[in-house]
Structure 1
Amino acid sequence: MINKIYPSLEAAVADVHDGATVMIGGFGNAGMPAELIDALIAQGAKELTIVNNNAGNGDTGLAALLKARRVKKIICSFPRQTDSWVFDGLYRSGDIELELTPQGNLAERIRAAGAGIGGFFTPTGYGTLLAEGKETRLINGRHYVLESPIHADFALIKAHRGDRWGNLVYRKTARNFGPIMASAAKVTIAQVSEVVELGELDPENIVTPGIFVKRIVKEAA
């Protein structure tokens, strides 16, 4: 019997290894798997490469992971905002590496990994520092930059409801990067608000099929 439900958050992240590339869903706090991040901090994996839209807010969630000095590199599109002081301090002191990627390119690089695409050409970033060292082409009179897919060892995402097969539905904007990250990682771990019985999720509403999800864990009540 297929049952991807894990008994605890700690068990779900137990095998995240030092040096792993970990995608973390969320657009700011919307859809951020905060409880999985806390479990990862407690687990102790270090030297991580994190892929996320931004670089943490305040002192909780992703910012707490950075503050614990567990991250060596972050790939994101929006690293600086009014409450990103943890990342800002680490970056200014040279304690974290940043790979800055425009948001559309970030989403497409993740999606390309899940779709098995070896790379794609985009006009975004051409003629800027972000294009340095990358192949460029002139296509139909317009300049493009070759971008590579982003693969991950693990993806930590948050969904609204899930079943034991790993099928997921999301709540409104909390969906954001979850579906594409689920397809781009070797092991996708989904924190869900509610675990339901098979058949309770309308197939027409399932956004992430269970084939992309390895583990489901219910968040604390």
Structure 2
Amino acid sequence: MKVKEKMGDGRGRPRKYARGEMQYRKLWLPENLLMELRVAARVRRYTTNDEIISRLISSLHFSPRRHVIKTDEGQRLVALARMFDEFIQSRLDVIRAEYQVKDDALTEKKPFVPGKNRSFSSSFPENLRRDMEISARFNRRSMNMEIQERLLDSLNYLTEQQLPENEEVKRLRELAILFDEFILDKVVVAENPIAGKDKES
């Protein structure tokens, strides 16, 4: 009887979600869906993994650890951010096609044989972290892989082809950072109008 009585407690409210042990799971998702999830995560400065987990928890009518976008205005802003991302990537594709590393430059690079991965705790200046996030997006890889590839390149190892660090790529990176900040502010107001009023006052 006590169990049944407890089942009625908090009825009508979202249940709390107790996080269990994390286990690795590879997901296969349509590219356009993954793009949407990445953009939604980015405008709230979450990882894509946290975004996916939050949405799955919410779909089970649990109370998610982090909120997901719920307003129409918030969804429109995410759609705008996705279209902006697609526009930037289309321009980067042109730059990639124009940028080809010469064979003689490749011969000067030494091959890298990876060893066992080990964790390393590091702290980044905020502006460098943002640059690394955008650069990882531009090169279509994780931030961890972006940092690894740049460190290998600095040691003259042969790495995956990157975009050139020319003026156009630098301007696109700065534009992407400014746009991210703009969208984030707008999403915060769309999801919580009180926050917008607080800013105005």
Decide which structure has greater strand share: 1
Shorter-chain TM range is: under 0.3
Decide which structure has greater helix share: 2
Structure-2-length-normalised TM-score = 0.21
Structure-1-length-normalised TM-score = 0.20
Larger radius of gyration between Structure 1 and Structure 2: 2
